[in-house]
Amino acid sequence: MSKLNIAEWHKWYTHQAGWTRATRKYLLEKIQFSKKMNVLDVGCGTGALADEFDVLGWHGIDLDLEALWFAKKMNQNRKLARADALNIPFEDKQFNLVFAHYLLLWISDPIKIILEMKRVTKSGGYVVFWGEPDHAGRLDFPNENVEIGVRQTESLTNQGANVLIGRSLGSLLVSSGLEDVFFGVIGGEWTGEQQVDLLELKVLESDHSKNGSGTKTQGYLFGDGNFIYIPTFFGCGRKV
């Protein structure tokens, strides 16, 4: 199976955004989000979340130039910059809301990212993580899928992913000095028939690409009542 192109990655990121949409709605209500606020999307990728915030002063940064080009092509009015989250190119206290989505999974020193996000947040503003997966806590059913799930987690670790980041999120937010820290786990829900399309299989194979023994998704059982559950944590904190 071929590697994903940028349009397919955008489709996948948008699919991921669907998993956390209800959590965003809940947290935005909790922090009393206003359309007058400026927001910064750290690690914005292809702009999968931009449409939810474009009319609300959305800015996005990412290191992936191809992803930024894609995001800009989708909407020429988007404010984008190629930048490292460890060195956000904005002065202190610029944004009411600074957020990330599936970012810390790939960061070796996540507290540094959180502190940098906090730096560019205005006093009274919020740093929010819509979703950070905890691959080390994954569940697979039926049992025939467990070994493949273990290999996927091992492959992600070999690629530099922090498979424990989800459960660490609350502690990291507290350690950063943010106030009113709130965090939790997004629930898992399934229908009786689980549908897996070609794109999802491509992503699974991409995740397995560094396990040293080739693709291991063949034989994965998808069907009635079967599921993959990777606990995904959310969290937010207010800057004083």
In a domain, 94, yes or no: yes
In a domain, 50, yes or no: yes
pLDDT band of 209, cuts 50, 70, 90: low
**In the predicted model, is pLDDT for residue 70 greater than 80?**
yes
**pLDDT value of position 193:** 57
In a domain, 68, yes or no: yes
pLDDT band of 28, cuts 50, 70, 90: very high
The residue-averaged pLDDT of 14-41 equals: 94
Q: What is the pLDDT of residues 148-192, one digit of tens each?
A: 788 889 888 998 999 999 999 999 999 999 999 999 999 887 766
In a domain, 197, yes or no: no
In a domain, 153, yes or no: no
pLDDT band of 229, cuts 50, 70, 90: confident
Count of structural domains, the chain: 1
In a domain, 222, yes or no: no
Q: Which of 45-49, 221-225, 232-236 has the lowest mean pLDDT?
A: 221-225
Indicate the residue type of 39.
V
**pLDDT value of position 215:** 46
Percentage of the chain lying above the pLDDT 70 cut: 84
In a domain, 169, yes or no: yes
For 9, 14, 50, 55, 80, the CA distances from 77, given in Å and listed in that order, are 22, 20, 11, 10, 9
Give the residue, 64 or 196, on which the prediction is more confident.
64
- Which domain CATH number covers 120? 3.40.50.150
**In the predicted model, is pLDDT for residue 227 greater than 90?**
no
pLDDT band of 228, cuts 50, 70, 90: confident
The residue-averaged pLDDT of 94-118 equals: 96
For 4, 21, 28, 164, the CA distances from 39, given in Å and listed in that order, are 29, 17, 12, 27
**pLDDT value of position 211:** 56
In a domain, 69, yes or no: yes
Cite the DSSP H helix spans in 37-186: 50-53, 65-74, 110-119, 146-158, 165-175
Give the residue, 143 or 39, on which the prediction is more confident.
39
**pLDDT value of position 83:** 97
The residue-averaged pLDDT of 93-102 equals: 97
Residue ranges making up the domain that contains 94: 6-133+162-191+230-238
